[in-house]
Amino acid sequence: MRTRTAVVPVSSVTLRDISVAFDGVPALADVSLSVEEGEFFTLVGPSGCGKTTTLRTIAGFTSPDTGAVSIGGEDVVGLPPEDRNVGIVFQNYALFPHMNVRENVAYGLRYREPPGEVSTEQRVAELLDIVDMAGMGDRDPEELSGGQQQRIALARALAPGPDVLLLDEPLSALDARLRERLRVVIRDLQQDLGITTIYVTHDQAEALAISDRVAVIADGCVEQVGPPEAIYREPATRFVAEFVGDNNLLEGAVVSADPPRVGLDPASDGTFGQTIPVDGVSGVGREVTVSIRPESVSIADGDAGQSVDAAGSITLQATVSTAEFMGDIYRVHCEWQGRELLAKTDADEPPSGTVVLSFDREDVTLLEEP
């Protein structure tokens, strides 16, 4: 399966200030993205956020109202899809039901020369081999399982040697276990071929698992672009912090810039539930939001009161409302000052009653937006 095929051209994709509206309703607003050659780049966001529209704009199915799209440095705005050398795989695979597997994979070769001076038959055999479907050429698509159909769709998209591979929620129709297995297949294949790949998904875990870089999209705007680790650990906006993984978001206000302190959970009388150190804050009185990942919050029985120690370790006094057993851990929903905080623990027994939640100042992330 890991045979490297003949030269596959790699290409970068750039979107500059793309805006798209459908019947006057904006779908994308000034989206700019730059995908590097050979990169695995993922667009993630909730349904209706514009990620598929972005993909369709790159493929040429949607023409942007404003902005520029370039593939491999060439401006492609105005070029119909058939004149852009991209391969696309859809969620439902869209295998042509009136053609068998071989004819499906060979379809693009009617219009485009396969890379590396090979015949259509050789190219089809090569691709079927790559996706581990050798010998299945005579089957009809309907005879294949969902996972097999997905592999054929991938082979079909790759057969003409596209500059860019576009994947539109390719795994969403599959069950969870198969999805996890196939995403590894896709990632390995992409690494072997070195093809620039843009992947669309609504599943943030999938995005983190598979990508070189991730763009989080919401309401037609790019919220944050970065490697998965950065997206997870340093969410730039409140939306990213909430959308990617579990998170605790706390509103507060800057009470002092030096030392940097944020008062959490402001009350109407100007008091705070707790004041904690947050690195990098400025502008006393400014309203801010901070986030703390549940896995950074440790939970212990007891009644130790609230404090911030010299090393910057913060403890909060809370009560457990419910604990969900997840198999490997408990997700513990706690109540602190009338709001919910989430913690995770791998204890054998679920915590209950009054507990102490503690976390370090390094685990507190300041979000850009209030």
Binding site for other proteins (CB under 8 A): 59-61, 80-84, 86-88, 90, 92, 94, 96-98, 107-108, 110-112, 156-157, 160, 166
Dist CA 44 CA 328 (whole Å): 27
Q: Residue 241 is inside which H or E element, if any?
A: helix 238-243
Least distance in Å: CB of 146 to other proteins? 15
Least distance in Å: CB of 70 to other proteins? 17
Report residue 219 CA to chain centroid gap: 15
Neighbours of 177 (CB within 10 A): 8
Least distance in Å: CB of 117 to other proteins? 18
Burial class (CB in 10 A: 0-12, 13-18, 19+), 326: exposed
* Closest to other proteins by CB, 155 or 342: 155
Least distance in Å: CB of 79 to other proteins? 11
Dist CA 317 CA 308 (whole Å): 12
* Closest to other proteins by CB, 98 or 177: 98
Dist CA 218 CA 92 (whole Å): 24
Measured at the CA of 199, the angle between CA 194 and CA 203, to 5 degrees, comes to 135
Least distance in Å: CB of 271 to other proteins? 50
* Closest to other proteins by CB, 157 or 264: 157
* Closest to other proteins by CB, 160 or 228: 160
* Closest to other proteins by CB, 81 or 260: 81
What are the helix (H) ranges across 92-235? 101-106, 120-130, 146-158, 176-193, 204-210, 228-233
